[in-house]
Amino acid sequence: MSKDFFDRERWEREILEHVLRRYPERRDRFETSSGIEVERVYTPKEEEIDYVEDLGFPGQYPFTRGVYPTMYRGRLWTMRQYAGYATAEESNRRYKYLLSQGQTGLSVAFDLPTQIGYDSDHPLVEGEVGKVGVAIDSLDDVEVLFEGIPLDKVSTSMTINAPAAILLAMYIAVAKKQGVDPKALQGTIQNDILKEYVARGTYIFPPQPSMRLITDIFAYCKENLPRWNTISISGYHIREAGATAVQEVAFTLANAIAYVEAAVQAGLDVDEFADRISFFFNSHNDFLEEAAKFRAARRLWARIMKERFGARAPHSWMLRFHTQTAGCTLTAQQPDNNVVRVTLQALAAVLGGTQSLHTNSRDEALSLPTEKSVQIALRTQQIIAHESGVANTMDPLAGSYYVEALTTEIEQRAQEYIEKIDTLGGALVAIERGFMQREIQESAYRYQRAVERGEQIVVGVNEFVVEEETTLRRLKVDPAVRERQIERLQALKERRDGDKVQTLLTRLREMAQGEENLLPIILECVEAYATLGEICGVLREVFGEYKPSLAL
């Protein structure tokens, strides 16, 4: 391209003079949410992009443009609405409703007691049973949760971490009761304990035994559940805690590196488990940065797996991910505005090449979503898929000067973070020293200050404010849920074989003190109707509990 055709320096001078003359109050400097300065216009910079090494084609290394050759022309992303509240019966009704409305995969939300390994009758969990997800105490509850839902026909994602092995065992047991071969099961357990230490807090055990449980799951599923995603490494909660897009990519991939290293140290070949690793990202408000973020993460992970871990199989290089729109961006003020936010965030995820998507509901800053709100959220995905046209071609943003520049910048900045974490000794050490936590806290503080100063506009909150009472109906969980769960739990304990349960729990304790894979004995305990709390109680005795440093 000749200088006569496009004189960038002259254009820059002229446009700046025009802006300052006509809009003296307009600021001249803009940044993405990660602090990447946005140029006034982007033009070809072929010397910065190697179109073979960096871009290529969809389905080819380094997968910048997508992990599959046909992307959505071959198959749309899985529409997977995250749901679960109160009892297994109520959640089962919501799942059947969502499936009847066109949802193509299940995503289970568990209540806080379940996430931290306590039964509903434990004194510490009073007031939390069934509130932020469904209450699960035993296999008995999981049988009800999936009643009438053929597990060989749906893909199920379970947002569970510290007790992931136990919930996976319960899912396997239900499938067996349905006559489904576990080898046919498809789905994902989150199983990502490192981000719990960093950002979320629903941990139980210290890092080392937690990592053992994770690698036990890797090994067990390799032989018994070959189609199951054994981990979903989450940047979502890191972003919700206040991280930037760059930090989300960097910290998520740093954690992923730690899991791969742990599995290799446990004797697994990287190509035997890498294709069952999946990821879970946030889709935030900075539309084009978010789309570029997904492309950058995919490219960086491909290079990490190929160059750092020596993975040989192309499927081991692929970063496959689920996306959820950003809960932290939803506002209680003018909640219908959230429909617009979620639409933009969902579109960014689709343009970024997601394999699975959850769209938040407009009322989630106020309460659990109602059926009407969930339907609107699901319809948002369906309209993008079937009416917008963006799924008709692979990677429709490819070649955008701005998107390609952002992709490269995010990749480079994330790589610098990973190198810093490596110098600290890896993700586990970085977490123990509070490095990631401090970086996230500082980013969250900067963002909040920008909102308070009016530098970052949040429509309906610090600008375009109106006085109004929301007319949205709020979904509330019946306070009697805990009592019903306790009654159900007591009835279970009366009818099960108590001696068999105690024998199996003793064997679990002995095996936890050794080095054997714990999944087979956990499955036996579950099938004998040992409760979640009983199994976690035994593991707490052996492994201890994680206590974060007060210095953090």
For residue 234, give the nearest of 249, 215, 213, 212 by alpha carbon.
249
22: confidence class by pLDDT, cuts 50, 70, 90: low
Q: Express as a percent the part of the chain with pLDDT over 70.
A: 92
Average pLDDT over residues 513-541: 98
Amino acid found at 509: R
- On the question of pLDDT at 54 being above 90, the answer is no
Q: What is the pLDDT of residues 232-264, one digit of tens each?
A: 999 999 999 999 999 999 999 999 999 999 999
Which pLDDT value is given to residue 468?
80
User: How many other CB atoms are there within 10 angstroms of residue 28's CB atom?
Assistant: 9
pLDDT digits 0-9 by tens, 304-348: 999 999 999 999 999 999 999 999 999 999 999 999 999 999 999
Query: What are the tens digits of pLDDT across the range 358-409?
Result: 999 999 999 989 999 999 999 999 999 999 999 998 899 988 999 999 999 9
Query: Whose structure tokens read 């981000």?
Result: 195
The CATH code for residues 46-452 is 3.20.20.240
User: pLDDT tens digits, residue range 433-487?
Assistant: 999 999 999 999 999 999 999 999 999 999 999 988 777 777 778 889 999 999 9
Q: Which helix (H) or strand (E) holds 457?
A: none
Any idea what DSSP says for residue 463?
B
pLDDT, residue 4, reads: 47
pLDDT for residue 43 is more than 90: no
pLDDT at 474: 79
- Rounded (10°) CA dihedral 307, 309, 315, 321: -100
Q: Which of 38, 54, 63, 45 is nearest to 6 (CA)?
A: 45
Name the pLDDT band for 548 (thresholds 50, 70, 90).
confident
Q: Which two tokens stand for residue 103?
A: 């949802």
| Whole-angstrom distance, CA of residue 257 vs CA of residue 279 | 12
Distance CA 258, CA 91 (A): 35
Give the pLDDT of residue 3. Answer: 44
Structure tokens at 416: 């610098």
175-180, Cβ contacts within 8 angstroms, sequence gap of 24 or more: 175/151, 177/143, 178/150, 178/151, 178/152, 180/150, 180/151, 180/152
How far is residue 44's CA from residue 65's CA, in Å, rounded to a whole number? 18
pLDDT digits (tens, 9 = 90+) for 414-439: 999 999 999 999 999 999 999 999 99
Note the pLDDT of residue 29.
Answer: 75
Q: Is the pLDDT of residue 26 over 80?
A: no
Is the separation of the CB atoms in 497 and 101 below 8 Å? no
- Separation between Cα atoms, residue 317 and residue 389, nearest integer Å: 29
474 or 82: which leads in pLDDT: 82
pLDDT tens column, 94-118: 999 999 999 999 999 999 999 999 9
Tell whether the model's pLDDT for residue 267 goes beyond 50.
yes
Q: Residue 389 is which amino acid?
A: G
Average pLDDT of the segment spanning 293-302: 98
CA distance 322 to 281: 6
* 16: confidence class by pLDDT, cuts 50, 70, 90: low
pLDDT band at 516 (very low <50, low <70, confident <90, very high): very high
Residue 1 pLDDT exceeds 50: no
Is a pLDDT exceeding 50 seen at residue 39?
yes
> Domain boundaries in the chain?
46-452
- pLDDT, tens digit, for every residue of 494-512? 999 999 999 999 999 999 9
pLDDT at 47 over 60: no
What DSSP state is assigned to residue 104?
Answer: -
- Give the orientation angle of helix 245-265 with respect to helix 401-424, to 10 degrees: 50
Q: State residue 477's pLDDT score.
A: 81
The pair of three-digit structure tokens given for residue 265, joined into one six-digit string: 């140290």
